Amino acid sequence: MNEIDKSKLPVHVAIIMDGNGRWAKKRGFPRVQGHQKGTETVREVVKASREIGIKWLTLYAFSEENWKRSDLEISALMNLLEKFLRQELKEMTEKGIRLRAIGRLHKLPASTRELLLKTIDETSGGTQMTLTLALSYGGRQEILDALRKVGTMVEKGLLRAEEIEKRHLTASLYEPEMPDPDLLIRTSGEYRISNFLLWEIAYTELYITPTLWPDFSKEEYLKAIAEFQRRERRFGAAE
Ligand code: FPP
């Protein structure tokens, strides 16, 4: 914690939580047990983010591609998510954490979606931190959904095609208020983006660690932030 410069914190940290399956396999456990342990890491990272003073935290909890997993694994993930929402509601409202979600939420099972929307509503007054869960989320899908909204404006004659600017697309994303991530962390050592926040990460710093998500800790989180603070960000400009 001493290594962290509080005046240079990333405003928005996004995380690709990968490696739950491998964590379980290494121990001869079913994959679901990896997700269970991964949920504990989610709790720790949410708590640590709040303590450090991160204002926006976005977690890739379920991708559009994850629908291809077995029914058993999908329902286990939905159950874990529901359990997390029920258990964390009190903590979130007490600590001023506002919950949001991005993705094609209409594809979620009704019980999960209803609980999610209820939790979003009940935490909407939180001012300390915004926790965004990416659920049934795909970066290309988000851009497509945004394009459709912009297209509708053009169709209605509210905007001309040649007048379309970046801000029109940004305003049509799932969470227009969300600032672009400053830091993107990916666990389990894979060097890819996996369709996460494609529009938003144009100038985001990447931190990739071989640690599997269930083993990710507050110490390593602080290490990632300390490394972020040592980087020089130029946003494409010259020195
Ligand atoms: C990647 O591991 C992780 C996921 C697909 C889901 C992440 C979900 C959680 C951490 C738990 C539920 C979420 C919340 C917010 C409570 P993987 O299964 O792809 O791992 P592998 O690549 O090693 O197989």
Q: What are 40-52's pLDDT values in tens digits?
A: 999 999 999 999 9
Q: Tell me phi and psi for residue 225, to 5 degrees.
A: -70, -40
Q: Which of 31, 33, 35, 133 to mutate to test the pocket of ligand 1 (most atoms within 8 A of CB)?
A: 35
Computed over every residue of the chain, the mean pLDDT equals 97
Give 18 Cα–ligand 1 centroid separation in angstroms.
Answer: 6
User: What residues act catalytically?
Assistant: 18, 66
Q: Which of 15, 17, 58, 88 to mutate to test the pocket of ligand 1 (most atoms within 8 A of CB)?
A: 17
* Structural domain contains residue 161: no
- Cα–Cα nearest to 234, from 205, 192, 207, 191: 205
How many other C-beta atoms are found inside a 10 Å radius of the C-beta of residue 106? Answer: 8
* Structural domain contains residue 124: yes
* Structural domain contains residue 34: yes
* Structural domain contains residue 110: yes
* Structural domain contains residue 84: yes
Query: Domain span at residue 69?
Result: 8-138+180-230
Q: Is the pLDDT of residue 3 over 90?
A: no
Residue 65 is part of a domain; what is its CATH number?
Answer: 3.40.1180.10
* Structural domain contains residue 156: no
Report the domain count for the chain: 1
Give 160 Cα–ligand 1 centroid separation in angstroms.
Answer: 42
pTM: 0.97
* Structural domain contains residue 147: no
Give tens-digit pLDDT for 87-102. Answer: 999 999 999 999 999 9
* Structural domain contains residue 150: no
Give 232 Cα–ligand 1 centroid separation in angstroms.
Answer: 31
